[in-house]
Structure 1
Amino acid sequence: ILPYFLYTDPGTAKNFIRYRIKTLAGALRKAKSYGYIGAFYAWESQETGDDACSDYNVTDVFTKRPLRTYFKDKQIHISAAVVYAIKEYIDATEDYSILLEGGFEVIAECALFYLSRCVYLPLRQRYEFHDVTGPDEYHERVDNNAYTNRMALFTFETLLTYWDDFLKDDNTFILNTAKKIKLEKYIPLMQDVAKKIYIPQPESDDPHHHNVIPQFDGYFSLEDCSLNDVKKRLLDPKEYWGGANGVASQTQISKQADVVLMLAVFDDEYGKQVKDANYAYYLPRTEHGSSLSSCMYGLLACRTGNKKDAYAFFKKTAETDLSGDSKQFAGLIYIGGTHPAAEGGTWIMVVNGFCGYKCRNGEISLSPDLPESWKSVTFTAKVRGTDYLITVTKEGYEICRK
């Protein structure tokens, strides 16, 4: 939901960031409890920043016993999401004061966490992330989840960029913050990690997976079956698909957008052929068991010219809390209710998807492709203190200062 507030109500967006600054202490405690340094943010955050997520948060439908899940301790990409939010806020507002309020310390501590979490493989001369769970929660404890690794790299890149800027400016406050957390001694190692993090690449030699990015190590070796095949294996409609013995865990069926999420977030880094190949490959292998999935698939559908798919995903996202068609149970745990993140995803699909809105370095660009039944879309965007009224039609678009 942050993108909506970034461009309509940046003051509220800033408060979201302040919440993460306020709960840094909880993230530090969590990292320390697992033997790491830095900030490992909560999967389900309490007011203190401590994690409300339990280790056993799914109940087996057959034994009625709690199942061990690896959301709280292995979904390490959450810290990078916090860094991404801070960077997006600064890019949209040019308000660097958030770094002086504690935002820089948050970024630095998240980078320190990833520094302590990665492993170096001398024979391959690269850094990897092992034993993680990516956005797809049906496949736990995997190595080198592509999204996780790329987000960790983003964290290092963001910190090192700001560090260089503040060194040039000789910013006393930031330098004192760095001294407090002993950041400077880790900078050379972070620079090395940033150069050598392993990011899974599109397959080039395998004709069956040409241009497809493996979701994690060994993904293509899993059983390649259809979504319907997996559904037929269910003995109970409420059965949890993931975990050690879930019906999806040994197959290529994913709970939600994973590689597709990475392609949507890092859109400028991948060409259309790679986007086309991954969209086509992962679409029939994704259950969309999370309400967060459809909007990301819809966004990539817009960017790959799949207009019918895009509109269908838009409808699914927009009607999540109206239709009741979203997944209601994970095991015996009720996961229904309202879905504000999906509502934010609806805005993303309209503005960033159908209207093709992007803002880079304060510059607005649009590449619209509206649904056939739509005549026009009008929306507002606040960029670095200036309010814009943007109208998109089938013929083109108009950007006006308000």
Structure 2
Amino acid sequence: MTKNRETGTHRVLILGAGYAGMAAAIQLAARGTRREDVQVTLVNAQERFTERLRLHMSATGQRVAELSIPELLEGTGARFVRGWVTAVDADAKLVRIDDDRVLHYDTLVYGLGSVADTAAVPGVEDHAYTLNSPQDAELLADRLARLGRGTVVVGGSGLTGVESAAEIAEQYPELDVVLLGRQEPGAAMSPKPRAYLQAALARLGVRVLSGVEVAKVLPDAVQLVGGELVAADAVLWTSGTRVSPLAAAAGLTVDERGRVVTDAALRSVSHPDVYAVGDAATIRQGYGVMHGTCQGGMPTGVHAAVSIVRTLDGRRPKPFRFGYYHTPVSLGRNDAVVQFTHPDDSPRRVYLTGRMAARYKETVTASPWPTYGRMKKMPASGAFWPRGGRFTRGVR
């Protein structure tokens, strides 16, 4: 790998401090900064870490820990730069931040993940809330606290929609909560956990409209394809995601959704000095393309970091291998369902429900922070390597 001629260091620049970007930064800094010839810089738009797994809690006014990215990086030697990434020049190997700052790199880790797709359906951008950030969640929390009585429509019956609808219904039992989407909630689960999930929504008073498609979001209603109107005092949009257009604008090879197409080692197929991790990447495994989750995102960040260190040492990076392990879904604070899965994310017969599942989900939600802490303290030969959807301790 090349080094900066002036400083003699190899500059690794990581864009995005989500689950994948943070894992890459901490793992790489813990290993790379023991070498005097490696400089790690992490760029993110805000200092506060976004716990996406808890945003549905923030949206209902519940307090969650405010995690500081600089504090999480403390002791690693990695540098944090706060700013919005406005452009990437993959040929010149530079990144522009807030239009006037420029950062140069020798290796780039591209982790600018996804947000809710508010452009696909008319009216969503103007009239719906999202859970893209803690600030977005706080806006919805303020609206819910002022509603008193009324109807909240959650658009999108995927796992984020299910968790959000359940949380709102439990925290605000006086509200009428409507969950609507093309598929029935828990569609990817096996019959028994799916039935449990749907029964839990019914117990919470959530009205489910499945097999429907939204045509337009209005100031006081959601219009379905076919013309039916569903009255709404607030709309939360959780259906579909989109990624930043920066990768395509930079000339990186992207798929039809704008995600960076990677090789087996998570390097851009067009620019091998760029690694792509998490939701920003198209990562193909034997069972197909991975979908974006914290479960899969953190291992991609770890793998990218280890691959960079291997390359610096003159070794070839190894192919990334990942298998899913579970799908935990909270149904309020004291209830949940956990569907255990095969590596290809298809459901197994094993599942958990009720309080035991809720405790399991809480453990999973909290798990990144002990993992990051162990990364910071690990010996130089260690790595937290993804196997079967879990982090295991290994030597590479």
Same fold (TM > 0.5) = no
- More contact order relative to length (CA 8 Å, sep ≥ 6): 2
Structure with the largest fraction of helix: 1
Q: TM-score with structure 1 length normalisation?
A: 0.29
Alignment TM-score, normalising by the size of structure 2: 0.29
Larger % of strand: which?
2
